[in-house]
Chains A and B, each alone.
Chain A
Amino acid sequence: NAGVTQTPKFRVLKTGQSMTLLCAQDMNHEYMYWYRQDPGMGLRLIHYSVGEGTTAKGEVPDGYNVSRLKKQNFLLGLESAAPSQTSVYFCASSYKGAGGYEQFFGPGTRLTVL
């Protein structure tokens, strides 16, 4: 099993450009999440999905859109990139184990917006 994969691994955008980050998981998890990670701020939830065809806003959703057309894929879109969106983006999926929900993370996408 590949677990959670993310593409691309690195990307540089100019202000105003758009892009889509792709996340795929092969563990048949219902729940998926997009986070951004900035120095000293931990992981902040952007959007999440509780199943195919459903999405919801997280803590910092402004400037991002998401789609979950297939259970295994969760896409994060930036319609008009801004320098404030320079960050490392992580996708995760989760299932409920004996101790509660465990999240499995992808390797991240490092995005720089100039």
Chain B
Amino acid sequence: TQLLEQSPQFLSIQEGENLTVYCNSSSVFSSLQWYRQEPGEGPVLLVTVVTGGEVKKLKRLTFQFGDARKDSSLHITAAQPGDTGLYLCAGPGTSYGKLTFGQGTILTVHP
């Protein structure tokens, strides 16, 4: 079973601060995804990283896939209250589009 471990589990910061969330595994993944889930809603895909060493930017969010394709990170610059939510990393399972999810990082950005 491929496991994904996220850290930290909780993050509480002030508006304007920077932060990084990590997603680690002992297994190699062909790709990794990051989802954001707002309170009372389902997760929504932010990005998919496919190539080892790949860096993708989405406005103030920067996603990186490790060279060995065993880990990924999400960096947020100048966090805003609207970034508050649960961030989940996910890797492809054995078949049929299944995903293995990390346990999530709950981010709270205070005004």
* Co-complex (A, B): yes
Interface positions of A (Cβ within 8 A of B): 4, 31, 33, 40-45, 48, 50, 56, 58, 90, 92, 94-97, 99-108
Is the beta-carbon distance between B48 and A99 smaller than 8 angstroms?
yes
Please list the residues of chain B having a beta carbon within 8 angstroms of any beta carbon in chain A: 9, 30-31, 33, 40-45, 48-50, 88, 92-93, 96-99, 101-104
**A43 contacts which chain B residues (CB < 8 A)?**
43, 88, 99, 101
CA distance A4 to B45 in the complex (A): 14
B14 vs chain A, min Cβ distance (A): 24
For the complex, what is the distance from the CA of A81 to the CA of B56, rounded to whole Å?
44
User: How far, in whole Å, are A95 and B102 apart by their CA atoms in the complex?
Assistant: 21
- How long is the Cα–Cα vector from A22 to B93 in the complex, in angstroms? 25
Which chain A residue lies CB-closest to B99? A103
Contact of A101 among B88, B99, B101, B103 (CB under 8 A): B99
In the complex, what residue of chain A is closest to B4 when comparing beta carbons? Answer: A42
> 10 closest A-B pairs (Cβ-Cβ)?
A105-B42, A99-B48, A101-B97, A42-B101, A94-B97, A42-B103, A43-B101, A31-B97, A100-B31, A50-B96
Q: Which residues of B contact A41 (CB under 8 A)?
A: 103
* Cross-chain contact A48 with B88 (CB below 8 angstroms): no
A residues in contact with B45, CB < 8 Å = 102-104
Selected from A44, A45, A105, the residue in CB contact (under 8 A) with B43 is A105
Q: A45-B98, A94-B97, A100-B31 are in contact. List 13 more A-B contacts (CB 8 A).
A: A33-B98, A40-B104, A42-B88, A43-B88, A43-B99, A45-B99, A58-B98, A92-B42, A99-B31, A99-B50, A100-B30, A100-B33, A103-B45
